[in-house]
Chain A
Amino acid sequence: MSEQLHRMLARLANFESGAIGNQNDTRKQAPRIDLRARAIVSLIYLIIMLSVPINRLSELLIFAAFPIITAAQTGVRYGCIARQSLIALPFVAVIGVFNIFYNREPIFAIGGVIIAVGWIEFFSIIVRAMLSVQALLLLVRAEGYNALCRALRRLGLPSVFTTQLLMLYRYTSLLLEQLLSLVRARQARSFGRRALPVRDWGAVIGELTVRTVDRSERISQAMWARGFRGRMPDEQQVQRWQWRDTIYLTAWCLVLSVIRFTHPVERIVTLFNKL
């Protein structure tokens, strides 16, 4: 477990320093789209994609093009994003599985197997969730969580929210660090016993909270010592909105609207049936 935690911490560090191996080089060479434009497009994508009726699974699948194309644009490996998005799968599956039991109305049959609407809805929920997570991961992966928060602030989100988001992110890495040190300390003296007895969970959670609060207080002191006044500074070079950002935004809005309202998959299927 300590190795997994260590890897998670390293990934968090990599997210922000941009040290994502070769992906980073590709990203730097490509003309950068303003993160505000990316954020707006991602939001529009989520709204449009989630507005597809739940039983139209085929129509939903074409929306997978957005994360694939965005990944290619930003130089991030899509496979990596797809793999990371799987972390949400168990939670979504639990939510969606009830549709299988409640909605047993048959919709079509493959060979002798009758497929119920509930199954379509189940897969539809999973695809939506995966695509949503992928779109958000790509947004963060493009330039990092901090840059995203800065972009949101420049889009007019009150700084109290963006500061909270940034703090939440930092607090996550603090929590992981403290958890890592606790796990290592336990492993060093557990003599091969893997599971933590349930009776010790409370003590561990309490210790973790105390350690994390203590550490965050010291960090807070360091911040105040360097002139922090309750708002994270924005020292980065501010990228100006350019024509390519407008074109990017307009193009994606058009494409997504066309996909949503002209039902291209349905048309293609109808065309094939006619042939």
Chain B
Amino acid sequence: MSHHFILFEEIHYGYTADNEVLRGVNLQLEHGEKVALVGANGAGKSTLLLHSIGLLTPTRGRVVVGDITLSKRTVAQIRQTIGFVFQNADDQLFMPTVEEDVAFGPTNMQLSREEIEERVASSLAAVGALSLRKRSPQQLSGGEKRRVAIATVLAMGPSILVMDEPSAALDPRARRELIALLKDFRHTALIATHDLAMARELCPRTVVMHAGQIAADGPTEAILNDRALMDRCGL
């Protein structure tokens, strides 16, 4: 079985015992698919994404990546397969310089120094941020931070990209550049977003979440043109 494959099976999760945020989510991504995950605030999109790399553990159900079921034992392996881009780039960039931040993942993978340097350079080049490598993340603009945040996960050579609101808080130009960048990627991708125009441009398939459940799953055009569905799901 290919590693480019995620299965969320009957996922239940609640931050408190009496309030379930995810209520039996079933979702499957095939190799090379780009899927948009849309839904109103509090629908459970980010919570579901956090399950994909084991940052949250479902109270019921299971996550399978390739042929590996997510567990404490396999979580490190799965985190090498899935690159997770967080909603707020400031949370993702925590090292003193861009270069060190991008190298953080590959170093944890215990790669050789030459390999780390090569990955840092190639992933920064891929997002057009090679010139920023010596800068402090705190000194970057919102768009630059987002690019570097993507580079930090690309450096780990993931097969799957999981992104939480990648276009949030970007100005129109940075947003257009980001979309162009993501269009070039051939990774399997699951993108949670409120940016329906971006979903339309990038993802042939869209999944709508509402109140912790999958409300709809299908071709992006059909989903986004379903006015009643969009209204019902607060979109």
Chain A interface (Cβ < 8 Å from any Cβ of B): 9-10, 12-19, 144-146, 170, 173, 215, 218-219, 221-229, 233-237
Closest-by-CB residue of B relative to A228 is: B108
Bound Cα distance A210, B106 (Å):
32
**Which of chain B's residues 117-160 have a Cβ closer than 8 Å to chain A?**
134-136, 138-139, 152-153, 156
Q: Of B53, B88, B116, B134, which is within 8 A of A225 by CB?
A: B53
Chain A residue with the shortest CB-CB distance to B92: A222
**B100 CB-CB contact with A under 8 Å:** yes
A237: chain B residues at CB < 8 Å are 113
B139 touches A225 (CB 8 A): no
**Judging by beta carbons under 8 Å apart, are A227 and B108 in contact?**
yes
Besides A219-B94, A225-B86, A235-B100, 19 more A-B contacts (Cβ < 8 Å) are A16-B136, A17-B97, A17-B134, A18-B97, A18-B134, A19-B135, A218-B86, A221-B91, A222-B86, A222-B94, A225-B79, A226-B108, A226-B156, A227-B76, A227-B105, A227-B108, A228-B108, A234-B107, A235-B107
| B22 beta carbon closer than 8 Å to chain A | no
Q: Which residues of A contact B136 (CB under 8 A)?
A: 13-14, 16-17, 19
State which of A145, A146, A225 has its C-beta within 8 Å of the C-beta of B55: A225
Complex: A235 Cα to B104 Cα, angstroms: 8
Q: A13-B139, A14-B136, A225-B55 are in contact. Are A146 and B96 (CB under 8 A)?
A: yes
Q: Which residues of A contact B50 (CB under 8 A)?
A: 221
User: Quick check: is B84 within 8 A (CB to CB) of the other chain?
Assistant: yes
Cα(A10)–Cα(B139), bound, Å = 8
- Tell me if B26 counts as interface (CB < 8 A to partner A): no
Given contacts A13-B136, A14-B136, contact A226 B104 (CB under 8 A): yes
Choose from B105, B113, B138 the contact partner of A13 (Cβ within 8 Å): B138
Residue of B nearest to A235 (CB): B107
Interface size class of chain B, counting residues whose CB lies under 8 Å from the partner chain: 20 to 34
CA gap between A17 and B136 in the complex, in Å: 5
The majority secondary structure among interface residues of chain A is: helix
Contacts of B105 in A (CB 8 A): 226-227
Q: Indicate whether A226 sits within 8 Å of B79 (C-beta atoms), given known contacts A218-B91, A221-B50.
A: yes
Interface check B80, CB cutoff 8 A: yes
- Residues in A with CB closer than 8 Å to B94 are 170, 219, 222-223
| Cβ of B229 under 8 Å from chain A | no
Q: How far is the CB of A232 from chain B (nearest CB, A)?
A: 9
Assembled-state Cα–Cα distance A170/B127 (Å):
26
Question: Complex formed: what's the CA distance from A58 to B97 in Å?
Answer: 43
Q: Is B103 at the interface (CB under 8 A from chain A)?
A: yes
Nearest Cβ on chain B to A9's Cβ, whole angstroms = 7
Enumerate chain A residues within 8 angstroms of B107, measured Cβ to Cβ: 233-235
A–B Cβ pairs within 8 angstroms, 16 of them:
A9-B138, A16-B97, A17-B97, A17-B136, A215-B91, A218-B88, A219-B94, A222-B84, A222-B94, A226-B104, A227-B79, A227-B105, A227-B156, A228-B108, A235-B100, A235-B104
Query: Counting chain B CB atoms within 10 Å of each CB, which of A173, A224, A225, A236 scores highest?
Result: A225
**A221 contacts B96, CB within 8 Å?**
no
- A221 pairs with B55, CB closer than 8 A: yes
Please give, as numbers and ranges, the residues of chain A lying within 8 Å of B96 by CB-CB distance. 13, 15-17, 144-146
> Is B109 among interface residues, defined by CB-CB distance under 8 A?
yes
Which of A14, A224, A235 gathers the greatest number of chain B CB atoms within 10 Å?
A235
The distance from the CB of B54 to the nearest CB of chain A, in whole angstroms, is: 8
CA distance A170 to B105 in the complex (A): 18
| Nearest residue, chain B, Cβ from A173 | B138
Q: Which residues of A contact B153 (CB under 8 A)?
A: 226
- Bound complex: CA A235 to CA B80 (Å): 18
With A17-B97, A17-B135, A218-B91 in contact, do A235 and B116 touch (Cβ < 8 Å)?
Answer: yes
Task: Tell me how far the C-beta of B115 lies from the nearest C-beta in chain A, rounded to whole angstroms.
Answer: 11
Asked whether, in the complex, the Cβ of B86 is within 8 Å of the Cβ of A221, the reply is yes
Find out whether the CB atom of A227 lies under 8 angstroms from the CB atom of B84.
no
Bound complex: CA A17 to CA B138 (Å): 10
Given contacts A13-B138, A14-B136, A16-B96, A227 and B86 within 8 Å (CB-CB): no
Residue of B nearest to A224 (CB): B55
Q: State whether B86 touches A17 (Cβ < 8 A).
A: no
Q: How far is the CA of A17 from the CA of B152 in the complex (A)?
A: 17
Chain A residues within 8 Å of B109, by CB: 227
How many Å lie between the Cα of A9 and that of B136 in the bound state? 11
